[in-house]
């Protein structure tokens, strides 16, 4: 696993413990949805909202001249002033800073080889993407999940990926799952126990075809779900 500091571009390779790669496999599940990141306004809108949230926080801490990036606000400053924000911008900032916490917690669990706790952090990340970053939230999904954050039609995204994530979390042996793929579409990724991997694949295939039959029909070239293993490093084939 690689850990990179986004501010100074330094990185660290975190080697797994000897038994680490034997304790999980990676399950990738495809929703059947395809589109380019730039073809939908939602992604760029969220980037702007994060910048707007950063401007508010930087003004509160007396650094208005700093570039409007949430990474220019310290976690301590955010904790002190987050109560002074509300609505959409408050949720965007909450996702950023809690994701920051999850990343560093995940690094520590990875060092220890604790895939169970690492998986829980993956799932919490996915939940925050729904509730705070609103990546994949449709009106019907809000009602079904009982989400109490306001719904704005402009933010309506993709319910199939929500379904896919929920199916993965219910699948046998799955430690954790979250969205993966650009532009609020694409895939979900999960960590799964090796002895349950094939059972999980069969479960995802069956349940997604029931939940999203039309999209499932579009997945012709590859299975809905596949099992992968982590390579030792990136290299040119």
Measure the CA–CA gap between 121 and 105, rounded to whole angstroms.
8
pLDDT at residue number 141: 56
Total structural domains within the chain:
1
Which of 41-55, 82-96, 223-237 has the highest average model confidence (pLDDT)?
82-96
In terms of Cα–Cα distance, which of 45, 38, 50 is closest to 185?
38
Does residue 54 lie in a domain region? yes
Residue 105 pLDDT more than 80? yes
Q: 53: closest CA among 61, 155, 4?
A: 61
Closest CA to 27 of 158, 191, 224: 191
Q: Is residue 8 part of a domain?
A: no
Question: Domain residues for 187?
Answer: 18-228
Lowest mean pLDDT among 105-119, 121-135, 203-217, 222-236: 222-236
Position 122 in a domain? yes
| Contact by Cβ (8 Å): 121, 178 | no
> Quick check: is 224 in a domain?
yes
| pTM exceeds cut of 0.75 | yes
Asked, for residue 176, whether it belongs to a domain, the answer is yes
> Over 60: is that where the pLDDT of 149 sits?
no
pLDDT score of 231 more than 70? yes
CATH of the domain at 174: 3.30.70.890
pLDDT value for 155:
42
In this prediction, residue 34 carries a pLDDT of 74
Q: How far apart are CA 152 and CA 138, in angstroms?
A: 9
Q: Which pLDDT belongs to residue 213?
A: 93
Domain annotation covers residue 117: yes
Confidence of residue 8 (pLDDT cuts 50, 70, 90): low
- C-alpha angle 187-192-198 in degrees, rounded to nearest 5: 90
Whether 58 has a pLDDT exceeding 70, the answer reads yes
Specify if 12 maps to a domain. Answer: no
| pLDDT band at residue 153 under the 50/70/90 scheme | very low
Range with the poorest average pLDDT among 34-43, 100-109, 126-135, 174-183:
34-43
pLDDT in tens, 170-228: 999 999 999 886 555 689 999 999 999 999 999 999 999 999 999 898 888 788 999 99
Sign of CA dihedral 145, 41, 223, 175: negative
């Amino acid at each position: 696993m690689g850990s990179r500091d986004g501010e100074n571009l330094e990185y660290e390779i975190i080697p797994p413990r000897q038994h680490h790669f034997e304790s999980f496999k990676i399950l990738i599940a495809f929703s059947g949805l395809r589109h380019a990141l730039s073809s939908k306004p939602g992604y760029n809108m969220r980037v702007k909202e994060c910048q707007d949230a950063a401007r508010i926080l930087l003004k509160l801490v007396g650094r208005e001249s700093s570039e409007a990036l949430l990474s220019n606000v310290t976690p301590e400053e955010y904790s002190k002033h987050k109560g002074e924000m509300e609505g959409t911008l408050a949720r965007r900032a909450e996702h950023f800073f809690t994701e920051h916490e999850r990343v560093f917690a995940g690094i520590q669990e990875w060092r220890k080889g604790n895939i169970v706790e690492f998986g829980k952090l993956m799932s919490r990340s996915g939940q925050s993407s729904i509730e705070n970053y609103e990546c994949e939230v449709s009106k019907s999904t809000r009602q079904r999940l009982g989400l109490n954050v306001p719904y704005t039609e402009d933010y309506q995204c993709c319910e199939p990926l929500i379904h896919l994530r929920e199916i993965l979390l219910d699948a046998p042996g799955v430690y954790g799952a979250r969205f993966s793929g650009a532009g609020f579409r694409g895939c979900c990724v999960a960590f799964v126990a090796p002895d349950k991997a094939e059972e999980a694949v069969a479960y995802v295939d069956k349940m997604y075809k029931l939940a999203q039959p039309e999209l499932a029909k579009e997945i012709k070239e590859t299975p809905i779900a596949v099992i992968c293993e982590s390579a030792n490093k990136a290299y040119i084939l």
